[in-house]
Structure 1
Amino acid sequence: MSHPIARRAGMLALTAAMLMPSAGALSDVSSWAQEGVAAAQNAGLAPSSLSNSAASGSITRAEFCAVALNAYKAVSGKAVYVSGKKPFEDCSDPNVTAAYLLGIVNGRTNGNFDPDAKISREEMCTILDNILAAADIEATEIAGDACIEDYPDVSMISDYAMQPVVIMVDHSVINGITDTSTDTTILAPSGTTTREQALIMANRFCTAFKPDKTPIAAVDGSTNLPTTAGSSTSAATTIAGLPKTEAEKMTYVYGAGNGKYQSAAEAEAHMVEIVVPVWHLQSNGTKVASKAYLQVNASLASIYQAIFEEIFNGSEKFPIYDVGCYSWRTGEHSQGTAVDINPDENMEATINSDGSLSPTCGTHWTPYIDPYSIPEGGDVYNAFTKYGFTWGGNGWRTKRDYMHFSYFGR
């Protein structure tokens, strides 16, 4: 697929509004909250599960788990993995399970999660504090204007939530609200929070505890790869010495005579976490170097590292705000042999009889218009196909999956 140079130049002229990921767009956002909600969306904090939900409606425990996972990814730089486990009898939401396994949330005393219950303000503070612990971030003491003793209802804070609320007040993540009956400003720790308020709080949290964006050195991924691995390429070429046939790839990944993993426990025993360099796109159009954490098949770890080095060093400086590999579900993700990149802007879609596309995941694919969409023939495409991966954007006859690169072509 060829694209004029002018279209590349046009991409650079996008306004800040066009840079905003569209996942999780709330409906009927209050006028006072529009700027804050837009900032949260731009930071990738609004999950797709909130799409078209009433902004002024109270956010539930399960809904806030999805927001919390995005906040965790933002401050830690780490990916979040879906597990086949089900810790709660009353909830199978993968976001709840992932948050629980990270230690971000807990269930009720009866062993259930109560996913549809409205979350309290002090519960939100506790979850945000748990994110800091999971991300190994220390909340430093600051001498700000906010002070918990300024609120008359401080005694209403539950014992378990006292320290988290203190931290979030100190860092201006949570502010007081007006008690109209007394015309005083209170914390209302047991009060509920609207979806738009929750997104704004999550963005304040990420702003307060955002990671250092100092450029990092590229990861050395040359181990056990052919001597040409890691070199840049301007076309989708492959490398001599890498396995090419299905049988060769099976042996390379699983070992001679072995087959695919049959359980989450077996799969996770063969996964490793790698750190790869990525570019993050800022609201003003600039790009900063960052890093992403991926849980991948150990046999492909050095290949993945080489791929992401090439993307990072490519002329496009392609921005990646969301990337995932291993997840115990159907398909190659359960084997750690597939990667999804910027899913909302690189939709999965079925091909209709008239050739049109009906999205099944994500919202669009507009390369050279949306900077997060992956163009065919671009740096991301070239790097993955060079190392033997298949792109879902042109790999099958019945659907398109523009976010998806898979080692076995599934």
Structure 2
Amino acid sequence: MSTPQAWNPADPRSRPSREQVLAGLRGTDAGGEELVQLLTPEGQRLSDPRFDAYADDVDAESIKALYRDMVLVRRADREGNALQRQGQLGIWVPLLGQEAAQIGAGRALQPQDMAFPSYREHGVAWCRGIDPTDLLGIFRGTDNGSWDPLATRFNLYTIVIGNQCLNAAGYAMGQRFEGKVGDGPDAEATICFFGDGATSQGDVHEGFVWAAAYDAPVVFYCQNNQWAISVPLERQTRVPLYERARGYGFPGIRVDGNDVLACLAVTRWALEECRTGNGPVLIEAYTYRMDAHTTSDDPSRYRLADELELWKLKDPIERVRVNLVREHHVGSEFFDGVAAEADELAARLREFCLAMPDPAPDRMFSEVYTEPSPLVEAERAEFLAYHASFEAVD
């Protein structure tokens, strides 16, 4: 058995110790007062005096809608994964296992709020009205995102790890400067999504500092999925991530990231805090990445299968299904209908992807600067001449 010091995740012969494997589970197994949970892995509805008021409108129909969201988003995610494996996408970033963390937070947003994603927030995009087909161009390499960030109130995906935290902090500062924070119905807030690995990046800490200094109305939403690619959480921090907020002077809270009701309630609370001038807030959604970091990753090289099997028992979709059956007596007709709708979505996604046209050869030059650049234009002409020389040979 390897020790924490000897374990090398890049070496397939090296294995983490039992303690390392279990460390990622203690947060939800042991729980504790710091973990907000409204729905257990067995589907039992719990009460939390701090957040019940933010979930008291969630009835059977609302839970059915959240279930539908998570199933459709998971199905789209699985189809994207398959399309990459079949050579139709250059890469795909799976969200498998993080559906509750994303749908709960996404459905907590008001239309006027602004969201800044990383590159895995397919569920939040869904909640902001962005069709999954609009995501394909990013991973096929044909565009940087085909939606309007201002119209959808959902920024374009950010590939640079943690950079969106600076963008979100700056945007939220602007909301405060423009007087969009207060008690009125049109008050705004910003939410920024990132993973546990991003918390080791300087951009995230700078975003925390600026947001705290200017009381920016921004919710920093960390999806702690336990692995920063091959680096486990215990290699990144000595304290739970939500406790880091204390050092910057704003509140932090840990929520069960596999509990869609808790994620919804806690995010509603945090956004309200920000809209009324009490921000920023850090949320640590304690969840688990059940697939690879991206399709370029092989998680079997650095984590044990037993760890994945244990987390499958906490599946975010299954606990909602059980709750609907046991407490609301929802029958198979509803679940069969959602499954059929998910299959239709996957088929539409595949059909769209296969029909996507290849971009023109010189498109890489047209998306560099807003204004024409003599240097770029010269490089474009040289490239097109080089490209045309191959056609002449044919």
State the TM-score, normalized to the length of structure 1: 0.23
> Relative contact order, CA 8 A, sep 6+: which one is greater?
2
Structure with a larger share of its residues in strand: 1
State the TM-score, normalized to the length of structure 2: 0.24
Structure with a larger share of its residues in helix: 2
